Amino acid sequence: MNDQLVSMITQLVMEKMEKTTEGQAPDVITTRTEEPLIKFYDTAATKGATELAEPMSTTSEPLIQLYQQGTPQQAHIAPATFEQPLNVAVPIKPFQFEADTLTDSIQAAKKHTPARIGVGRAGTRPKTKTWLKFRLDHAAAVDAVYGEVTEDLLQKLDVFQVTTKVTDKEEYITRPDLGRRLSDEAKSLIQQKCKQQPKVQIIISNGLSASAIEENVQDVYLALQQSLSNLNIDIGTTFYIDKGRVALMDEIGELLQAEVIVYLIGERPGLVSAESMSAYLCYKPRIGTVEAERMVISNIHKGGIPPLEAGAYLGTIVQKILHYEASGVELVAKEG
């Protein structure tokens, strides 16, 4: 450090100490400001009523004005109290979705279709209620495909069970051709237990929806039996086929030489219903039968054709097929 600077600092320190010992107070420079740099107001109405900050500045207006809430004209602060309890019991209410407001035209349309119309949206996405219902219906469809018909139902219907050449559900979905052919054991069992050359042979299969069979087949089958009995139409030995396809009726028709086959099978499930069943009918089905020769009554479930009504109606269709000795397009042509 510069010696001259050190000497000057030392001299100043000595002079300050001498003044202190002589009782002389050091000079203090004070300034006074007239206004605070920042003012706080509860409301705009109390502006200028109370000054809360010091030291004061020479400015006439505060640099920043803070209001508790709202606009300066609407601001209002409720006085704070400590008498209210901290934990107030709030009654728990069950969650409810908002009620949808639909136009009259959409409400009228919804009465005639189960399709998802007028469900609205939240921005670019479906509403939570719509999305959850979609996921529920999709899960029900998956369960219908991969489900199995219970043994209790088969015992109630008093039917025996056979299998196709399909080994599991994955193969059933990816190999429809295997679902159209009976296994060797199934052929032997059918020939042993079933009546040969029946007027009407009824067969049942889970197809693509075990839920459809569980929900509908008992009412349909019993109503169909009653209808055919009233019409004095002979019925063969009914049996159940696991993982069968529609065209399997051709091989069964050739095996039993039946005049008419009624095939009750679970439909491919959708997002509207996973419990829909169909009834396929054909006059003397044989291997090589074309689809135009088949007939189908579909959408049999509680939201479509009632099962009991469908069973009774199938009896009248069988009577027509036997009378005209035709089914499908040919039956329509002969009736016309």
Question: Tens digits of per-residue pLDDT, 205-217?
Answer: 999 888 889 999 9
Q: What is the pLDDT of residues 93-144, one digit of tens each?
A: 776 655 667 788 888 887 877 777 888 888 888 888 888 888 888 887 787 7
Amino acid at 76: H
Mean pLDDT value across residues 9-23: 73
The pLDDT value given to residue 53 = 45
pLDDT greater than 50 at residue 160: yes
The pLDDT value given to residue 24 = 52
**pLDDT tier at 279, thresholds 50, 70, 90:** very high
The pLDDT value given to residue 52 = 44
Q: Name the nearest CA neighbour of 305 among 215, 226, 229, 244.
A: 215
The pLDDT value given to residue 292 = 94
Strand order in the sheet with 239-242: 160-163, 239-242, 200-205, 260-266, 277-283, 294-300
| Pairwise CA distance, residues 273 & 114, whole Å | 9
| Pairwise CA distance, residues 206 & 245, whole Å | 9
The pLDDT value given to residue 43 = 56
| Pairwise CA distance, residues 144 & 214, whole Å | 10
Amino acid at 222: L
Q: Which H or E run contains 279?
A: strand 277-283
9 by DSSP, 3-state: which? helix
Chain Cα centroid distance, residue 38: 58
Percentage of residues of the chain with pLDDT beyond 70: 76
pLDDT greater than 70 at residue 153: yes
The pLDDT value given to residue 335 = 87
Instruction: Decide: 296 and 305 in contact? Cβ < 8 Å.
Output: no
Percentage of residues of the chain with pLDDT beyond 90: 47
pLDDT greater than 80 at residue 85: no
Q: What is the pLDDT of residues 164-210, one digit of tens each?
A: 999 898 898 899 999 999 999 999 999 999 999 999 999 999 998 88
Question: What global pTM score does this model have?
Answer: 0.64
Pairing, β 239-242 against β 277-283 = unpaired
Place of tokens 């009896």: 315
The pLDDT value given to residue 205 = 95
Q: What is the largest CA-CA distance in the chain?
A: 141
The pLDDT value given to residue 241 = 95
**pLDDT tier at 54, thresholds 50, 70, 90:** very low
